[in-house]
Amino acid sequence: MEEVKNAGIYIRVSTEDQAREGFSLGEQEEKLKKLCELKDYNIYKIYKDAGISAKDMEHRPAFQQMLADMRAGKINYIVGYKLDRVTRSVRDLEVLISELEKHNCYLVCDRDDVNTSTANGRFFIRMLTNLSQLEIETVSERTKFGLTGAIKNGHIPGKCPLGYKRDETKKMIIDETTKDIVIRIFNMYLEGKSYQTISNILNKEKVLSPKRWCDKTIEKMLCNLIYIGDYERYKIVGKQEGKIPIIYENVVEPIISRELFEEVKKQKEINQRAYCRDRVYLFMQKLLCPKCGKIMTCKGSGGKKKKYMYYHCEDCRIYYREDKVEEMVMPIIMDLIEYDMTVKNYFYPVLADKKEKDTKKLDKEISSLENQKNRIKEAYVKGIVEVEDFSKDYKEIEGKLAILERKRLEIIDTNKQTFSPQALMADRDVAKEKMIRSNQFKSMLMADWNSKTKEEKQEFISKFIESIILEKDEKGYFYLEKLNFRKSFMKELVKLFENGIFEIPFPCTKGKEEITVPTTVAMDKKELKEYMDRLNEYYEVSYYEIMRPDEPKKGYQKKYFTIDTVNDNGEKLFKLVELVCDDKRFPAQKENRIVGEIRVKEREKAG
């Protein structure tokens, strides 16, 4: 009995193949129909996969349908144009040959003279597929190598995230019109706001309207490494193993510091363990149990007249009342309020991002937007665009221009400021001394704290403090055992220190009373003169050398000393300063060898 030859014609093209001569679906179908007619095959069905790669069999619907018909006995010949139209995977080919043998089906390819009904044919098909697999892997390696080079040069694939845009070379650069939105979102989350709260605020303020913000958008932004200058892509490993991340570091200019990004990441882990609450707790997620180290849970009690907030550890049964905790850390809070005011009023030029040395970059962006605006005007006048589209695009460009113009003025103002660390410190010290002498300094700091809402207090604490550990003594009174500041705050302090603006309290005595006196970082003679000249504009200032180090054989050592706060001349000890000087006897050693004191008289100069 003659064998019935029911054939399934399989044709496939990928996106690239569609542009090649002789690989279109129509041409493949026409040639394979002629082949079936020549070989006397009965065409059961034509299976088409358009725009699909041959790297695997699972993701080709028509191919899978053809295999199902083969298993059902509906076809016993698979006819293809070329072997690489059927598969380019050695592993998939082995599976296919096994399936063909199992169901008495054969593979015939027109252009490769393939026929699996013989042993030689099966050997030949394996050799052809090995060559196809080699081609795939070679092209893949070249593509990955080219992609890696492009990424390292700032040419990041895909859509630009918020805060970035592409320049004329398609390189990803910072978008000055949206950069501040990104920074604000990171800071809001660090202050304790949830994804949903942040999105609600942005929607209420109509930020980037008509865009609608949602919690998922905020979450994705806070996890995106691009904001610290890194790019993350994933490598597929097998079908079940999942994806392996590949990190390219420092490929674009960062918007967020790595310290801030890490703190947000840590805050996210803490928030995942938090509960939703209808009350605001000042130290939420800040108090750690002194015994087990876990974050203490927030709890409220009391009726309508008086309510108490508690922090407790259920495992160790430790409770702290919130008002008592606030009282305990209030001295530190006062110092932080003073720091915050000082930075805003005096030290902003030191901590400000000074990467922009001039306005050339912003001028170029403004010019580009002005050109866009003119083109839109021209298109509207010529009737190319409708009034609705014109108004929408024009308004968007106007908004971006306003932001860039404001930033340009800020840079110009900052560049105009001629400041030195010594001048900034002197201005700060004069203002502080005036407040102290009028007995308003502490009350001013307390008034600032009391004027804040509870939400604002919580955000302020979260901005500076990472964690707090309290302990109880034998009498049941608790005390501050340990307080950790956030890394971003510590980075600011380091920057101030590096710029010569930093103070530490130095222990002194007034009779039997122990006091502390501010001590600056070391100054040279020129810097000290500048600082004192600035002070002298408001006070009568004197400087005394009060200590020289010992001179043992091994080098210089400092002595501890005791001084009174007011001397016989009625001068008040204002500050201690270490003077940097070169000792000719020890030219190789440039150390702080002189400690002096700066004193001011109680009365101010007239005028």
Q: Which residues are catalytic?
A: 14
Torsion angles phi and psi, residue 62, rounded to 5: -65, -40
Q: What angle do CA 199, 187, 348 make, to 5 degrees?
A: 140
Largest CA distance in the chain: 130
Classify residue 109 as exposed, middle or buried by CB count within 10 Å of its CB (0-12, 13-18, 19+): buried
Pairing of strands 465-472, 287-288: parallel
Sign of CA dihedral 280, 286, 291, 293: positive
**DSSP letters spanning 137-205:** HHHHHHHHHHHHHHHHTT---SPPPTTEEE-TTS-EEE-TTTHHHHHHHHHHHHTT--HHHHHHHHHHT
Task: Identify the burial level of 521 via C-beta atoms within 10 angstroms of its C-beta, where 0-12 means exposed, 13-18 middle and 19 or more buried.
Answer: buried
Residue linked to tokens 């509960």: 275
3-state class (DSSP) for residue 16: coil
Distance of CA 57 to the CA centre of its chain: 40
Q: Between β-strands 42-50 and 77-80, what pairing exists: parallel, antiparallel or unpaired?
A: unpaired
Angle between helices 179-190 and 215-223 (to 10 degrees): 100
Distance CA 374, CA 100 (A): 66
Q: For residue 285, give every residue at least 6 positions away whose Cβ sits within 8 Å of its Cβ, in sequence order, or none.
A: 192, 270, 271, 274, 295
Q: For residues 523 and 546, what is the distance between their CA atoms, to the nearest angstrom?
A: 16
Taking 3-state DSSP, the helix, strand and coil percentages for the chain, each rounded to the nearest 5, stand at: 45, 20, 35
If you search the block for the tokens 């866009």, which residue do you land on? 372
C-beta of residue 459 within 8 angstroms of C-beta of residue 192: yes
Whether the CB-CB separation of 294 and 284 falls below 8 Å is answered with: no
Residue environment code for 199-232, b if the CB has 16+ CB neighbours within 10 A, otherwise e: beebeeeeebeeeebeeebbbebbebbbbbbbbe
CA distances from 41 to 9, 37, 47, 114, 368 (A): 10, 6, 16, 16, 65
Work out the burial of residue 358: count CB atoms within 10 Å of its CB; fewer than 13 is exposed, 13-18 middle, 19 or more buried.
exposed
Q: Name the amino acid, one letter, at 151.
A: I
How many whole angstroms separate alpha carbon 255 and alpha carbon 182?
Answer: 8
